[in-house]
Amino acid sequence: MVKLEHLRADHANALLAFEQENRAYFARSVPDRGDAYFTRAGFAERHRALMEEQHARVCHFHVVLDDDGTLIGRVNLIDVQDGRAEVGYRVGERAAGRGVASAAVADVCRLAAAEYGLTALTAVTTLDNLASMAVLTRNGFTRVADTVVGGDPGVRYVRHLRH
């Protein structure tokens, strides 16, 4: 159904097109990234920075591809430290509601334990993002605390991993 690939330099154009196409859709549930992010130059600079973070192994970035190889989402492990990381994900509007986010998060949880040696993952979402809360719960995350996400009320989740 879905395939994860490590983010590569050659994903930049497809990823920018994905982000531009879904900007308004994402802005309904998460803070917008600002106009500069969506320009070719601004995006290229940010993409280079992500590649450097991934090379340093402080983050693991992934694109989500459908059966045809079309980029339909992304799922990331950020701030890797002491066996833990925070998982973040987004799926484009055309793929929403089809189990893509749940499958991608399940895949990244397996990678986190088996390939990256992580022992726990955290995630945050806003209280009004019921779909994201469902994805996390389906994937074995437990709600542990209230928090603030981009200025909005939110919730923090944790999942302990087994190797």
Radius of gyration of the CA atoms of the chain, in A? 15
CA dist 142 and 157 (Å) reads 5
pTM of the full structure: 0.91
User: How many domains would you assign to the chain?
Assistant: 1
Residue 126: how many CB atoms within 10 A of its CB? 20
**Predicted pLDDT of residue 27:** 82
Per-residue tokens: 90: 């987004």
% of the chain with per-residue pLDDT over 70: 98
Residue 120 β-bridge partners: 84, 160
Whether residue 3 is predicted with pLDDT greater than 90 in this model: the reply is yes
pLDDT for residue 136 is more than 70: yes
Measured CA to CA, the distance from residue 119 to residue 73 in angstroms comes to 24
Q: Where are the alpha helices (DSSP H) in 31-150?
A: 40-55, 100-114, 130-138
CATH code of the domain containing 122:
3.40.630.30
Range of the domain at 148: 3-160
The mean pLDDT of 6-25, rounded to a whole number, is 92
